[in-house]
Amino acid sequence: MTDKIIKNDQYYMQLAIQEARKAEAIGEVPIGAVLVYQDEVIASSFNLRETLETTASHAEMLVIDKGNQHFKSWRLEGCTLYVTLEPCPMCAGTIVQSRIQRVVFGALDPKAGCAGSLMNLLQDDRFNHQVEITSGVEAEVCASLLQTFFKQLREKKKLLKQLKTREESIQE
Q: What is the CATH number of the domain that holds 105?
A: 3.40.140.10
Helices 59-71, 3-25: inter-axial angle, 10-degree rounding = 110
pTM for the model stands at 0.91
In a domain, 4, yes or no: no
In a domain, 2, yes or no: no
58 is an annotated ligand-binding site residue:
yes
In a domain, 3, yes or no: no
Catalytic choice (60, 138, 155, 172): 60
167 annotated active-site: no
Which domain range does residue 95 map to?
A: 9-171
Q: pLDDT in tens for each of the 172 residues of the chain? A: 677 777 899 999 999 999 999 999 999 999 999 999 999 999 999 999 999 999 999 999 999 999 999 999 999 999 999 999 999 999 999 999 999 999 999 999 999 999 999 999 999 999 999 999 999 999 999 999 999 999 999 998 888 877 777 777 777 6
Q: Is 130 left (phi over 0), alpha (psi -120 to 50) or beta?
A: beta
Tell me the C-alpha to C-alpha distance, in Å, between residue 28 and each of 23, 55, 147.
5, 13, 13
In a domain, 128, yes or no: yes
114 is an annotated ligand-binding site residue:
no
In a domain, 1, yes or no: no
Q: How many domains does the structure of the chain reveal?
A: 1
Please name the amino acid found at residue 138: E
79 is an annotated ligand-binding site residue:
no
In a domain, 151, yes or no: yes
